[in-house]
Amino acid sequence: METVAEVLQDTADKMNNTVKVLKNNFNGLRTGKASPALVDSLMVTYYGAPSRLRDVANISTPEPRLITISPFDPTVLPEIEKAILAANLGVTPQNDGRLIRVAIPELSEERRKEIVKVAKRLSEEARVAVRNVRRDANDNVKKMQKDSKITEDERDHGLTDVQKATDSHIATIDTELKNKETEVMSV
């Protein structure tokens, strides 16, 4: 890193990636509505190699509470069933020999609260990741000042900008969590 601007750009990129991963993880949480994101990243053994489900099958939601999985190769149907059961999603796949139907049942109040707890844990992990990025960025900025590459004023401005980026991303994480909680708890 040569300049404070490069450190800030790198910091923003890493924090954005953290938020992106959190959103992706939230998409995998079951909310009572059928969503392809619930199963599309499950790993399936396909000819001895682990593959994502979305790479070996078409996944669709023809109805609000139904996911259909149509594999490109019907011989992989048992493996897809095993992957769905092993993922412990609280759903049971139904195999008719050509495609798999996954009915999404109503969530009980207790299950909704468990999902909210998982969402809170995921968001806290994301906050910790953002804070770790902030710490690394602050260390880089302080090191540049110590090595006389930047002035004290530039260091202070850089540290302030890093903190602003951190606050912004943590606020985004909190908003995503609040939205997910609302989505999960609505009947």
DSSP one-letter string for 3-55: SHHHHHHHHHHHHHHHHHHHHHHHHTS--SS--GGGTTT-EEEETTEEEEHHH
| CATH code, 80 | 3.30.1360.40
Phi and psi at residue 156, to the nearest 5°? -60, -45
56 and 89: one domain? yes
Percent of the chain with pLDDT over 70: 97
User: Of the candidates 84, 103, 122, which is a domain's last residue?
Assistant: 103
The residue range of the domain holding 51 is 36-103
Query: Which tokens sit at 76?
Result: 């992989």
Q: Is the pLDDT score of 1 beyond 60?
A: no
How much is the pTM? Answer: 0.71
67 and 22: one domain? no
Q: How far apart are CA 77 and CA 66, in angstroms?
A: 17
pLDDT confidence of 108, banded at 50, 70, 90? confident
Q: Is the pLDDT score of 156 beyond 90?
A: yes
Residues 6+ apart with CB under 8 A from 74: 97, 98
Q: Is the pLDDT score of 178 beyond 90?
A: yes
113 and 168: one domain? yes
Across residues 93-121, what is the average pLDDT? 88
pLDDT confidence of 187, banded at 50, 70, 90? low
90 and 139: one domain? no
Residues 6+ apart with CB under 8 A from 76: 44, 46, 56, 57
CB atoms within 10 A of CB 9: 12
User: Of the candidates 52, 72, 103, which is a domain's last residue?
Assistant: 103
Amino acid sitting at position 187: V
Domains contained in the chain, number? 2
55 and 119: one domain? no
pLDDT at 88: 76
Q: Is the pLDDT score of 65 beyond 90?
A: no
75 and 50: one domain? yes
| CATH code, 148 | 1.10.132.20
Q: How far apart are CA 4 and CA 156, in angstroms?
A: 10
20 and 62: one domain? no
User: Of the candidates 76, 103, 130, which is a domain's last residue?
Assistant: 103
145 and 173: one domain? yes
pLDDT confidence of 166, banded at 50, 70, 90? very high
119 and 99: one domain? no
